Structure 1
Amino acid sequence: MGHPDPVAPHLAQGLAPWNADEDDILVCRQVRAETADVKSFIFAARTPRLFHYRPGQFLTFDFEIGGETVNRCYTISSAPTRPHLVSITVKRVPGGPVSNWLHDHMAPGREIRATGPMGEFSTSTHPAPKYLFLSGGSGITPLMSMARSHHDLALPVDITFVHSARSPADIIFRDELDLMGRNLPGFRAISICEADSPGERWGGFRGRLSLDALSVIAPDFRTREIFTCGPAPYMAAVRGILGQAGFDMDRYHEESFDFGTLTGAEDTATAVAVAAPGLSYRVEFTKSRRVIDCPADKHILDAAREAGMRLPSSCTKGLCGTCKSKIVSGKVEMKHAGGIRQREIDMGLALICCSKPLGDLVIER
């Protein structure tokens, strides 16, 4: 008796796109070790679906850790040219609750909730004849999605990809970048390492990215569209280098891990009200056991911060979902950018970074 073909359902004609509003569950299919402290987590929909997104976009995940729901955004590292799966690549951060949970507990078969994709950091939104990709550490992920897309389509591209790492052993996707360079004319991948690995002496560019190094690696960098992603100090250094070189920053694009500079989709209002001047409302936070006054024209998160409260948040633009909170009583005016699902709003949840009180509130935070 024959066995069913596990591949056939995924290659069926007319597969529907994955839609988080209809089914936000992703199933882990595989975990891959990229370096000693970096892993890729590959997900599929519960039933065969296709993932449609622009290379460079991100997903927002709901992690259940220690009895609490923690929201985090992770850039998609896979390419939309391979739409049956979607992956994220995460570096283990010492003391980081989510990255450590993923590394220690995410495994094939485990399910997780996600929403998206979102974000405007993509070559698709900034087409150009020549690109320069600059990445530091795990900031390589959105640029890898872009590179993989061009590679899969065998496009006649001119891409110089410069990645900065601590050592040769820390170069994420090292073998794959080398393969792309062999397969795709016009694609060059160069790494810069700060130090040797225990098992390998680095023979390439050493130290950190500098104007001198960039001028040698990509002498024509001033004529390229530049995409940058990495830790905040790395991106600040890149901006300094380009400023020193007189680069036209209108052709510079960066992705921030805190999503503080992202612009989302058109804001969607869930309630509309006109605030009376000087009007203020009482806001009680049940878990924090704090009560604050919030002016009717101020976002709740801003008022809480001014009162000295430290609440989880990231983008402050209604995009990432980190500040999602249960409104136990009262109503808010919320204008978000895609960081919350409609059914969550129907359940009384709100993003307090982009919500203003319409009366006294009790919030489960």
Structure 2
Amino acid sequence: MDALTASPSPDPAALRLAGNLPEWNPEADDILIVREIRDETADVKTFVLAPKEPCIFRYAPGQFLTLDLTINGEAINRCYTISSAPTRPHTLAITVKRVPGGPVSNFLHDHVKVGGELRAVGPMGDFSCFQKGTPSPTPRYLFLSGGSGITPLMSMARTFHDLGEPRDIVFVHAARSPADIIFRHELELMARNQKGSFRFAPICEGDSPFEPWHGLRGRLNLGLVNHIAPDFKEREIFVCGPAPFMAAVREMLKGAGFDMSRHHEESFDFAALAIDEPEIAADVIAAEGLQAVEQAPEPQVATYTIEFAKQKRTIECRSDMFVLDAARRAGVRLPSSCSKGLCGTCKSKLVSGTVEMKHGGGIRQREIDAGMALLCCSKPTSDLVVDR
């Protein structure tokens, strides 16, 4: 065919806007292409991702994605909350703060480029103001975020903004300085666009080198919350930030007499190991005035040995205990985040042995077939050798 009469190649952008696109399925193809990288602050970047073939993402604002990375020859899984809105389904974005010494955040900041590929699974999680895909009927919200914990709340705010939903939202964000306010200009624009229904209230601990701060100053406290949202007790409150930030907010709200059934916080601290919940001791039962009930003898439970090959440690684990719990009690340090079989952080190769695993979506079937397991939700059914 003559070059002048040849049909032009279809525009990739036009293909992605075509109707009836399939939903992204990480079980079929878990590779996402980095379409754009945006500098949000000096140490925070947003990575805009899209599937290789035209398809769309479906998720609830507030959910997270698990990246499956290989860094210096080591397989690492890390969870990042989606910061984009499902109202724009052709791409998905994660926003990552560089953590000093953090292997994953530094790898993403320093080595991932536009056009690069990342493997991922998800979206997952239940931290969202949307229940089963529809907004909660609550008309008023208070969003409280600290640092990079802004991302799930930003996804929710962007979704309401795109939908033009008449929701009364007060968005409070705590940052070190004005230069560290992530998404500052976009949040200010949303406040201008939604006058009367969306208020943005950043709080800074101090000034930036080239920008003195004239707004609310200090750390989030009850006095500031009362000043910003005096009707906070009538609002649904969503909180995300570092674990100490969320703990402080929780205690502040309890002390103020807030109805904690209307308090929601991101349940994962992806930067730290999950902490064992303390067991209730007999003296605590007595002190609380609880009646002691004679317990029937426990049935005999099998005990297996778990060998962690790389750490050269061997422990014992009962067949009714999760491997991760047994490892923690024995002082074996393993990567973990959610402890619910969702995030994939504790995914490990079983060199030998079998387990009973009931997961929440943090592992693919093909990985299970290849001998991988999530230690947080796996109980041994034989002696194990784990590649950890």
Deviates more, 1:229-238 or 1:305-314: 305-314
The 3-state SS of whatever aligns with 1:131 is: strand
Query: Does structure 1 residue 166 correspond to structure 2 residue 172?
Result: no
* Mapped contact 2:56–2:90 kept (Cα < 8 A): yes
Give, in whole Å, the separation in 2 of the partners of 1:244 and 1:327.
47
- Percent identity for Structure 1 against Structure 2: 66
Give, in whole Å, the separation in 2 of the partners of 1:4 and 1:279.
62
The match for 1:98 among 100, 104, 107 is 104
The alpha carbon displacement at 1:316 in A equals 1.5
Query: Does structure 1 residue 44 correspond to structure 2 residue 50?
Result: yes
TM-score of the superposed pair, with normalisation by structure 2: 0.88
Query: Does structure 1 residue 17 correspond to structure 2 residue 23?
Result: yes
Partner of 2:77: 71
Query: Does structure 1 residue 131 correspond to structure 2 residue 141?
Result: yes
Letter in 2 for 1:215: N
The alpha carbon displacement at 1:305 in A equals 2.0
Partner of 2:312: 289
Deviations 1:33-70 (A, max 9, x none): 00000000110001111000000000111111110110
The alpha carbon displacement at 1:276 in A equals 7.0
Report how many residues are paired.
352
The 3-state SS of whatever aligns with 1:82 is: coil
The alpha carbon displacement at 1:341 in A equals 0.6
The match for 2:185 among 175, 200, 207 is 175
Letter in 1 for 2:113: A
The match for 1:83 among 85, 89, 106 is 89
* Mapped contact 2:268–2:338 kept (Cα < 8 A): no
Letter in 2 for 1:103: H
Give, in whole Å, the separation in 2 of the partners of 1:4 and 1:221.
52
Q: What are the within-5 Å matches in structure 2 for residues 150-299 of structure 1?
A: 150-185=160-195, 186-258=197-269, 277-299=300-322
Query: Does structure 1 residue 61 correspond to structure 2 residue 72?
Result: no
Give, in whole Å, the separation in 1 of the partners of 2:259 and 2:145.
19
How well do the aligned residues superpose, as a CA RMSD in angstroms?
1.6
The alpha carbon displacement at 1:350 in A equals 0.5
The match for 2:366 among 320, 338, 343 is 343
* Mapped contact 1:326–1:364 kept (Cα < 8 A): yes
Letter in 2 for 1:194: E
The match for 1:146 among 146, 152, 156 is 156
Deviations 1:269-296 (A, max 9, x none): xxxxxx9723111222221222222211
* Mapped contact 1:276–1:296 kept (Cα < 8 A): no
TM-score of the superposed pair, with normalisation by structure 1: 0.93
* Mapped contact 2:147–2:174 kept (Cα < 8 A): yes
The alpha carbon displacement at 1:217 in A equals 0.7
The 3-state SS of whatever aligns with 1:7 is: helix
Partner of 1:266: none
The 3-state SS of whatever aligns with 2:106 is: helix
Letter in 2 for 1:159: I
Deviations 1:197-223 (A, max 9, x none): 111111110001111111111111110
Structure exhibiting the larger radius of gyration computed from Cα positions: 2
Give, in whole Å, the separation in 2 of the partners of 1:22 and 1:276.
43
* Mapped contact 1:285–1:364 kept (Cα < 8 A): yes
Give, in whole Å, the separation in 2 of the partners of 1:130 and 1:308.
45
Deviations 1:226-246 (A, max 9, x none): 000001111122112212221
* Mapped contact 1:230–1:256 kept (Cα < 8 A): no
Q: Gaps (5+ residues) in structure 2?
A: 276-297
Give, in whole Å, the separation in 2 of the partners of 1:95 and 1:276.
47
The match for 1:334 among 357, 370, 375 is 357
Query: Does structure 1 residue 27 correspond to structure 2 residue 33?
Result: yes
* Mapped contact 2:352–2:384 kept (Cα < 8 A): yes
Give, in whole Å, the separation in 1 of the partners of 2:216 and 2:300.
60
Partner of 2:283: none
* Mapped contact 1:26–1:114 kept (Cα < 8 A): yes
Give, in whole Å, the separation in 1 of the partners of 2:46 and 2:71.
20
Give, in whole Å, the separation in 2 of the partners of 1:61 and 1:121.
19
Partner of 1:314: 337
Q: Gaps (5+ residues) in structure 1?
A: 262-274
* Mapped contact 2:34–2:49 kept (Cα < 8 A): yes
Deviates more, 1:289-298 or 1:342-351: 289-298
The alpha carbon displacement at 1:257 in A equals 4.2
